[in-house]
Chains A and B, each alone.
Chain A
Amino acid sequence: MINFQYSRPGDIADAVRQIAADPRAKFIAGGTNILDLMKYDVERPAHLIDISRLPLTGVEETASGGMRIGALVPNSDLSYHPLIEARYPILASAIRAGASQQLRNMASTGGNLLQRTRCLYFYDVATPCNKRAPGSGCSAIDGINRQNAILGTSDACIATHPSDMCVALAVLEAKVHVAGPAGERVIAFEDFHRLPGKTPERDTNLAPNEIITAIELPARGFAKNYTYIKIRDRHSYAFALVSVAAALELEGKTIKEARLALGGVAHKPWRNKEVEATLNGQPATRESFRSAADALLRDAKGFGHNDFKVELARRAVVRALTQAAQGTPQSQSNKKIV
């Protein structure tokens, strides 16, 4: 870890001023990722701006029937918030599938969006990595890539976004409120994270001088027919090989609206609205789910160790849609087999 300056801004405007003034500065909130990255010598901020005491911890209902979640609400608090559990159980479930209790206690809502990939090479500064050191090459494409992406990859990068929470936020079509020197703006969730393309060093469309202030959830929470399935090598504290957030609105046994997002397979939570639309008006059957899964994974491509993710994702989608349709979501707290 390299020595750094530390400051504590008095308010959001001050935080924005400070980050805009120093291109080598970074925000720190829960510190669950930035501190690791500094210890691994991946990040070398000259200045840490501690935003953890800013007044961004509210969880409030909005006029339009949705909810607004302050960027500094801890992941644990959010997942156990009574209104979130009641109206957006898919979000509560996804959060609880992530990390460990201790990490969820520390991690903030805004920070969860900004966590970096877990690609093994990104963390090993002795190896080339275009995301860490642009232009140095990608070690994962021909290396150990079991955890890497199968959708939306580029020649420069096959990293995945590791968040569980974001997969649920993608399905819920949340909005990201940010503040910067030019004032506030709102970014649709699907536009927040980027695909790697030729600039894998950029994970998001948040400008370097902007701060996330809140996440807004629209009114629709799909609390009746949803599930979050996370497939991983152990029950807890493991990143997803594949995860699926599935939300359905049913009329009898017919699908009125379907939403699907995949985690662990791409540089961002993966959605395909055209595929989702093909489910509308279809019967909620395995056959419908299977053809949607096939379509969703049609362009997926493995890199060796992660080839299996294509078939695993297909099966996970079918399983998730089946659970959602039956109203029997996956439990994230009872890990026992039922």
Chain B
Amino acid sequence: MSVEAPAATGNMGEPHPRFDARLKVTGGARYASDMPVDNPAYAYLVTSAIARGRIVSINLGEAQNVPGVLHIMTHENTSKDVKDSKLFSDGGFSGTSIIPLQSDKVWHDGQIVAVVVAETYEAAREAGYRVKIEYEAEQPSATFESNGVQVQAAADVKKTHEDPKVGDFDGAFASAEVKVDATYFTPTQHHNPIELFTTTCAWAGDKLTVYEPSQTMYGMKNGIASQLGIEPEQVRVVSNFVGGAFGSKGSLTPRTALTAIAARRVGRPVKLVATRQQGFTIATYRAETKQRVRLGASRDGKLTALSHEGWEVTSRPDNYMVAGTDATTRMYDVANVQSKVSIVHADRNTPGFMRSPPELPYMFGLESAIDELAYALDIDPIELRRKNDTMKEPIKGLPYTSRSVMQCFDEGAKSFGWSKREPKPGSMRDGDWLVGLGCAMSCYPTQMAPSSARVRLSQNGELRVETASHEIGNGAYTVIGQIAAERLGVPYEKVSVVLGDSDYPAAPVSGGSITTASVCNCVAEACDAIRAELGINDPKGDVLAALKSRGRGAIERYAEWTPKGVPDGALAKLYSGQAMPTGGTKDKERIMFAFGAEFIEVRVHQRTREIRVPRIVGAFAAGRIVNPRTARSQLMGGLIWGVSSALHEATEIDKRAARYVNKDLAEYLVPVNADIDQLEVFMIPEEDHEVNPLGIKGIGELGNVGTNAAVANAVYHATGKRIRDLPIRLETLLA
């Protein structure tokens, strides 16, 4: 199917095709493991067969006899080589504090227990299969309700954590005329980017080059330096294209340092391409959550009380949490709010960021509960949201810089045909199929981080932008180039953007949907500096003519940009790889979010109960849309992921062994083309110059928030069965 690019309306930019589209479909884009290195050796990981216990013995005899094996790393010869591994969320760089090969201890299933290096990948893998490890296994704790898990209140383990609350929830809930009290579950999920977790390390003297798909060039540069005990200046990280990341490549995993050490030991570059199965345990994932939501309302549909409690699984040593109550307590006008997040330590690898880390699970709870309340009140779910819409968040009373959620609902409802919906569950049918229509709110905090960039305008009309940001499928090359072209009045075709190399000026992690807002505002500043240098203040003035008339060959400007309210020293932190996003709920004077409304039609077969999704409509308002074409793709991908998170995706855990069992793309389901039929994305024009000078809100994660609730709400409408445990599978509808 081929569709026209969406027209630019309101304050939107031009729908330029992606700079890298052709490169990607013709194989011209080089990913990290494609980068040529001289005479590489190949690494293969051996991972643990148990989730808890220790290694009693390792027999390498058979493995070492495989022709071509150069070296095998185990804890017996590597325990002192990796220095530290402080967690990303604690100001470090790592996705886990567990450093493999440090000792005989096994923290989780699938932990790296040996690394084989050989002349060929095949020899390394064969030897990997022949490494014989004896374990002393202990009974592991797999997940909620497993024996031996340790539960801690988030506020007790993380000093920056707040459990938002205001008013008197208990009193208001007790006296509420209508109540909802329900418990929801979201499953373990893995990112499964098509590009596997790869690392290539090449030493030249004491200088290390790391080719690794990453969302954080400077984080990786500084992180790997600290793990290896060398200076950041000795490390260069290159990753021009990333074949899907979704958060999984946003923090350092243990494989990078191990590959660097392997390369040093064998005296030549080492390439590691971990397998799809290993990707489930050597990187991060979205942990399962349990949530209890209580809502109280007056008979006429005014919310009076809201409580959201969440429990999240994490590893034994790490206090990773997503704490989505930060957002869910601020979505509606309600005077009495309480919330609490707890973490549950189990014998698992440490979870981490996955597209909309807090909002995807927590908005499922909230937006399902809102739908339940709408039924309890016999009020249309959109009207219930309208009654409780607000322009200021209830916890601190901070104003939203902009909030166009009801415009999204109204536009979306019109296109979706919401008015034809017969509200009674099970009342709409088409032949053998029960029809269900559901909706939910989407939101994502508008966040930004300090950035730097260099822009050069040459007299031949070429404009070059350099910044160590990341093309993770977000359209970064394209939108950054567009802003530069627009700002200097140069044709887009004359712009070249280079990204993904830590030799360029520092850019923040491409996570939290911050890249476009952060980098584009910085590039605009550099362009403005070029204008100022040339004395061209008129935005329509010809900078190139001015450059030539002054006899200049080129002008180059380096700019640093910090979002409003960020303290001094932020740029130094950016260069040390530790710039944290600000904005969203973190600002002291205002609250910044992008919003959307999502509509889902489901069909459920009246006999065999298969669930199909013939129609998806999403309407979003997110400030200035730099490129409506790339934006639509992002939002479309998000909506499909949202359906996936409702109906398909779940990592199955064998609780006896705390072991993931469906570790490939045949058994870990995501939708195929045939599962997604009609899909419409609307972008509602919205201007918001409070968020940042260019008025950009991030959209990378907006699309997949709320979709799971919209699907569950539609399934309820079709069948009268409220499913509170994802994914929704046909067996729950058979009974």
Contact = CB atoms under 8 A, between A and B. Distances in A.
Nearest to A241: B730
B83 to A, nearest CB: 31
Nearest to A233: B669
Given A231-B608, A234-B672, A308-B734, A120 B667 contact: yes
Contact of A120 (B609, B652, B673): B652
Interface residues of A, number: 37
A336 to B, nearest CB: 6
A1 interface: yes
Contacts of B403: none
Given A3-B126, A139-B654, A235 B603 contact: no
A144 B669 contact: no
Given A124-B661, A143-B656, A237-B666, A312 B612 contact: no
A118 interface: yes
Interface string B590-634: 000000000000010001111010100000000000000000000
Nearest to B676: A235
Interface in A229-255: 229, 231-239, 241
Contacts of A21: none
B661 A236 contact: no
B730 A231 contact: yes
A3 B614 CA distance: 47
A234 B675 contact: yes
B731 A308 contact: yes
A234 B648 contact: yes
B669 A234 contact: yes
A231 B607 contact: no
A41 B125 CA distance: 10
A335 B607 contact: no
A311 interface: yes
Contact of A3 (B122, B647, B667): B122
Given A235-B674, A315-B607, A120 B657 contact: no
| Chain A interface, DSSP helix/strand/loop, else mixed | loop
B661 A144 contact: yes
Contact of A336 (B430, B647, B677, B730): B677
**Residue in A2, A233, A234 with the greatest tally of chain B CB atoms within 10 Å:** A234
Contacts of A233: 647-648, 669, 729-730
B671 interface: yes
Contact of B610 (A41, A231, A236): A231
B666 A118 contact: yes
A126 interface: yes
Nearest to A120: B661
Given A235-B672, A237-B666, A337 B433 contact: yes
Contacts of B654: 127, 139, 143-144
B110 to A, nearest CB: 9
A121 B659 CA distance: 11
Interface in B640-686: 647-648, 652-654, 656-657, 659, 661-663, 666-667, 669, 671-675, 677
Nearest to A119: B661
Contacts of A337: 430, 433, 603, 612, 614
A127 B659 CA distance: 10
B49 interface: yes
Contact of A319 (B607, B612, B614): B607
A312 B672 CA distance: 23
A76 to B, nearest CB: 17
Contacts of B652: 120, 144, 146
B126 A312 contact: no
A142 interface: yes
Contact of B608 (A120, A139, A312): A312
A312 B659 CA distance: 28
A293 B431 CA distance: 23
Contacts of B608: 229, 231, 312, 315-316, 319
A231 B729 CA distance: 12
Interface string B402-439: 00000000000000000000000000001101000000
B657 A127 contact: yes
B45 to A, nearest CB: 14
Contacts of B653: 144
Given A2-B126, A41-B129, 9 more contacts: A3-B126, A120-B667, A143-B656, A235-B675, A239-B666, A312-B730, A319-B607, A337-B612, A337-B614
24 contacts: A1-B125, A2-B126, A2-B129, A124-B659, A124-B663, A127-B654, A127-B657, A143-B654, A143-B656, A143-B661, A146-B652, A231-B608, A231-B610, A234-B674, A235-B675, A236-B675, A241-B730, A308-B731, A312-B608, A312-B730, A315-B609, A336-B677, A337-B430, A338-B431
Interface of B: 49, 122, 125-126, 129, 430-431, 433, 603, 607-610, 612, 614, 647-648, 652-654, 656-657, 659, 661-663, 666-667, 669, 671-675, 677, 729-731, 734
Interface of A: 1-3, 41, 118, 120-121, 124, 126-127, 139, 142-144, 146, 229, 231-239, 241, 308, 311-312, 315-316, 318-319, 335-338
